[in-house]
Amino acid sequence: MPSLLASEQVTPLDMIQVRRGAPGEEEAVGVFVNVATGGFVAEVTPETPALLKHSLGGAAYVVTGLLKMSQAQGHPMRVEGSGLEPTEGRLLGLCVGNGRYAGGGFDVCPEARPDNGLMEVTMAAAGPEGARVTRPLWEWLAGDSNDGEHVRQARTSRLVVSSEMSVQFNLDGEPVRGQRFIFEVIPDALAFVLPAAGTRPA
């Protein structure tokens, strides 16, 4: 059986470029091919001990999240993009996905595709000031991420996220902080050799 590389079945896949800074002062901070997470969810990831991840796998993020839950008050953000109605409020988390899964195997962008020229945006909103915020977060991480009162999804090719406070994003695990981020899809940026559906490489 010929090798997969020899088959030359090339599939172009998108990347997402990220810039940071005020209008006219933007700087490139990186690119990613899977998922960028922001807000409280992004802060949980680097604070999860490696030993705990080795022992519990994806459940380690849940344990760390529970320990930090008292700090989960949401981050004030404004989210706007091509074809999107601007959203402003306190968000527990924001995922920008070219792929579906964030750290620990959480399906945070279930409709994302890496080859359609769009990124999927999933926003988990905090409740009113002083209200418990645990329910929307765990609904999201448990996979109940359909549009609703607390969790919204949308698709766009360009996204701007801004906040009056510093917000952390993890770009495929690489942490960056800032008050304004611009996400843009780079269509067909990577050429991958993929097996045909239902086949396995030799």
Task: Give pLDDT, residue 10.
Answer: 82
Question: CATH no. for residue 90?
Answer: 2.60.200.40
| 148-168 pLDDT, tens digit each | 567 888 999 999 999 998 988
Among 8, 120, 174, 184, the active-site one is 174
Among candidates 169, 23, 21, 152, which has minimal Cα distance to 102? Answer: 169
The confidence band for 128, taking pLDDT boundaries of 50, 70 and 90, is: low
Residue 77 included in any domain = yes
Among candidates 75, 55, 29, 54, which has minimal Cα distance to 167? Answer: 75
Residue 1 token pair: 């059986």
The domain in which residue 152 lies consists of 9-193
Among candidates 131, 133, 105, 102, which has minimal Cα distance to 37? Answer: 102
Angle at 134 between CA 132 and CA 136, to 5 degrees: 105
Q: What is the largest CA-CA distance in the chain?
A: 63
The confidence band for 60, taking pLDDT boundaries of 50, 70 and 90, is: very low
Among candidates 156, 155, 34, which has minimal Cα distance to 100? Answer: 34
In this structure, of 63-72, 108-117, 163-172, the range with the lowest mean pLDDT score is: 63-72
For CA atoms 18, 38, 160, 14, give the dihedral sign.
Answer: positive
Task: Give pLDDT, residue 173.
Answer: 82
Average pLDDT, the chain: 76
Q: What is the pTM of this model?
A: 0.77
| 29-46 pLDDT, tens digit each | 999 999 998 876 655 555
Task: Give pLDDT, residue 7.
Answer: 59
Residue 70 included in any domain = yes
Residue 30 token pair: 């990186």
Residue 3 included in any domain = no
Q: How many distinct structural domains can be found in the chain?
A: 1
| 85-104 pLDDT, tens digit each | 898 988 878 889 999 887 66
Q: Is 120 a catalytic residue?
A: no
